Structure 1
Amino acid sequence: MKKCLLTGICALGLLVNAHAQDTLPSAKRIQQTVNYLASDKLKGRGTAEKGSTTASNFVAKQFRKLGLQPVNSGSYFQDFTFDRNAHKSIPSRNVIGFLDNGAARTIVIGAHYDHLGTAGLFDGKYPVGQIHNGADDNASGVAGLLELARYYTKNAQKEPFNFLFIAFGGEELGLQGSKFYTNNPLQPLANVHFMLNMDMIGRYNPERGIGIGGFGSAQEWPEVFKGVTQPGIKFFTDAAGKGASDHHNFYMHQVPVLFFHTGGHDDYHKPTDDAPKLQAQSEESIINLEIQLINRAMEIPLIHYTEVK
């Protein structure tokens, strides 16, 4: 009987440990996500190209698997069109999933899923016809988005905030997805606790560390960051709320923001930004750092937007 009891306790412990491992960010899963999104099959996820639609369908499928709710009349998609130079009515869409914790306020987690594709919409700025796979930019950010969605949906503890996970389209053509969303929000922007954006978080340079922008966009950020450390990860902060990624449009609508970015590299916007160059283990640690900051920010009932002078 004693042996059976001990066996049962051990089995329960293994189940709990397995659940914890499934919940925590995983370098293996991150690499698998980037391998798919940055594969030649998707041809660079270019806006208005087939690969972009395939990528958006993939994200929606992951949202559904994780149990996130669609918030746009039963759809995970928010379709829109935009004009760019001579190109008119370019189609794209955001992918949106909601974790409803019954709270009054919501945290927005975002990353853009599009990249340059075969560069047909960039008026000769990049080599037309060549596949730009965009492993770091921004399959890495989408992998982070899905890891955070997994962590907060599978966490047994009900958080005091809701979560809205958004994979933005059309970012490379002028932050179009976040521009459309903030002009046509599916939930009131006044109820957003803060917005966290990930754009290029897969090429960690230990000499530089990861930059975290938006530090000046809320008066509570210094308190949230105080004493936060993550083994193997060095980070620095930047006050700017504006910037060349999707957090910019939330900041312009007076939403506090945080922007995670591991910096530029020689493969930026080139056909050589491929999945084997991803540093998945470092990205796992970066996401764990983000979880620390998100959890600390949830200890504060209201984060106050401040304009960065």
Structure 2
Amino acid sequence: MRAILVIFLAILVFSCKETKVKPITMKEDVSILANDSLKGRKTGSADEKKAAEYIAKRFADIGLQPKGTNGYFQKFTFKASKNPHQEAEFTSEKGDSTKTAENVIAYLDNKAENTVVIGAHYDHLGMGGEGSLYREGEAIHNGADDNASGVAMMLHLADSLRFDSALQPKKNNYLFIAFSGEEEGLLGSNYFVKNPTIDTKKITYMLNMDMVGRLNAEKNLAVYGLGTSPILKQTVLANAGNLKITENESGVGPSDHTSFYLADIPVLHFFTGQHEDYHKPSDDTEKVNFEGMKAVSNYIFSIIKDLDNQPKLPFRKTKNESEVVPEFKVTLGVVPDYLFSGKGMRIDGVSEDKPAQKAGLQKGDVVVKMGDFEVTDMMSYMKSLSKFEKGQTTLVTIKRNEELKEVEVTF
């Protein structure tokens, strides 16, 4: 029944060419984009193209202008990267080793001087392969949280901003971009910034939503980029309501806001946290917290309204954490909890057949010491890890249920 409902919704959306359809909910958008029929939306694939066409149709139904180079679409050709989240290598010539993908871009023209960019990537990992954490062969990676959730929230915000009301924020224009190729190395956002379809000097700030579908019971939300303009931190915290904000000053991170920050544009990136389904086939629609998505969407909308009366935001460079991250030869084999604000590094997931699992470490354990090195946060954890060599054994101190324990780990 659920599959039939999803197919019916897809047919309904694709078939309505002249009549304004009933507003689509975020749950319906996620259900369609993360459906098995799109086979994981691999960058440059025919299935990703279907997702792009769906997003373009949604933009049209909302009443947004096309702002790509060919209607809503902006095509680019690239050589596939084997290093996710590294700068893309673009090419103007097609060949056996190249692929073609496309951003989907729409515009809400309020006849204003400046423009706000609201973006989310819509590609994912297809059947797995490079970047997947699944080790049992090929399987569809639907990417409901990563990042059908971000696209659905972007569409919801577009629908809200398009609504004609005297109370709506109208002092900026809005450019909505569904980026391709984020999983291959920030391809789409990188390409857009280098080949913009609007004057980037008129962009006042950029909002990015990547993995916003798993708000937890404590209502933890990570917001990155608070230091990229002087007013952002105050605005982000003032509108938080009952959300618990984990602050990060930097404009650099493993998602599409980085491309805009590097072009001297203030950014905010929203993220509800890592989880055990990340980059696995189990990242499916039924695990998305849609009430949580509504809360995050309303929060972002309140930030947009708050900033509407501001002139063009001044840009400020922030400390680039990626430049000071130490190199290390070993891995513990865990997924850190990036929303944890206490002392130490809390484990959010444990990879199979890695040192942490072999030593008996569990999700929820907080690493507070590795050998002789204290662990107080993510940076000190990485610095500690950099001190060890492959094959070396050390004692790792963890806090489990408020009790300190020592475990022996062999890298």
Deviations 1:184-215 (A, max 9, x none): 01111111010000000000123360100000
| Aligned with residue 138 of structure 1, among 139, 142, 147 | 147
Structure 1 segments, 4+ long, off by >4 Å, are 123-128
Counterparts of 1:7-22 in structure 2, within 5 Å, are: none
TM-score (norm 2): 0.66
TM-score (norm 1): 0.86
Residue 117 to residue 229, structure 1, CA distance change in 2 (3 Å): same
| Aligned with residue 237 of structure 1, among 234, 244, 247 | 247
Structure richer in strand, relative to its length: 2
Compare 73-82 and 142-151 and name the one that shifted more. Answer: 73-82
Residue 51 to residue 230, structure 1, CA distance change in 2 (3 Å): farther
CA distance in structure 2 between the partners assigned to 1:226 and 1:117 by the alignment: 37
Say whether residues 1:96 and 2:92 are aligned partners: no
Contact 2:141–2:283 (CA under 8 A) maintained in structure 1: yes
Counterparts of 1:51-200 in structure 2, within 5 Å, are: 51-73=47-69, 75-85=71-81, 88-119=97-128, 122=130, 129-157=138-166, 159-200=170-211
- 1:290 aligned residue: 300
Report which structure shows greater RCO (CA 8 Å, sep ≥6). Answer: 1
Counterparts of 1:16-31 in structure 2, within 5 Å, are: 29-31=25-27
- 1:43 aligned residue: 39
Larger C-alpha radius of gyration, 1 or 2?
2
Say whether residues 1:224 and 2:220 are aligned partners: no
User: Structure 2: which 5+ residue stretches go unaligned?
Assistant: 1-21, 83-95, 320-411
Structure richer in helix, relative to its length: 1
Shift of 1:74: 5.5
Equivalent residue of 2:102, what SS? Answer: strand
- 1:12 aligned residue: none
Equivalent residue of 1:171, what SS? Answer: coil
Contact 1:214–1:241 (CA under 8 A) maintained in structure 2: yes
Compare 78-87 and 248-257 and name the one that shifted more. Answer: 78-87
Compare 240-249 and 48-57 and name the one that shifted more. Answer: 48-57
Shift of 1:31: 1.1
Equivalent residue of 1:173, what SS? Answer: coil
Given residue 220 of structure 1, which amino acid in structure 2 is its aligned partner?
A: I
Given residue 254 of structure 1, which amino acid in structure 2 is its aligned partner?
A: D
Say whether residues 1:281 and 2:291 are aligned partners: yes
CA distance in structure 1 between the partners assigned to 2:252 and 2:237 by the alignment: 23
Given residue 291 of structure 2, which amino acid in structure 1 is its aligned partner?
A: Q
CA distance in structure 2 between the partners assigned to 1:247 and 1:222 by the alignment: 16
Residue 88 to residue 222, structure 1, CA distance change in 2 (3 Å): same
CA distance in structure 1 between the partners assigned to 2:77 and 2:210 by the alignment: 22
| Aligned with residue 269 of structure 1, among 272, 275, 279 | 279
Equivalent residue of 1:235, what SS? Answer: strand
Contact 1:230–1:288 (CA under 8 A) maintained in structure 2: no
Residue 221 to residue 42, structure 1, CA distance change in 2 (3 Å): same
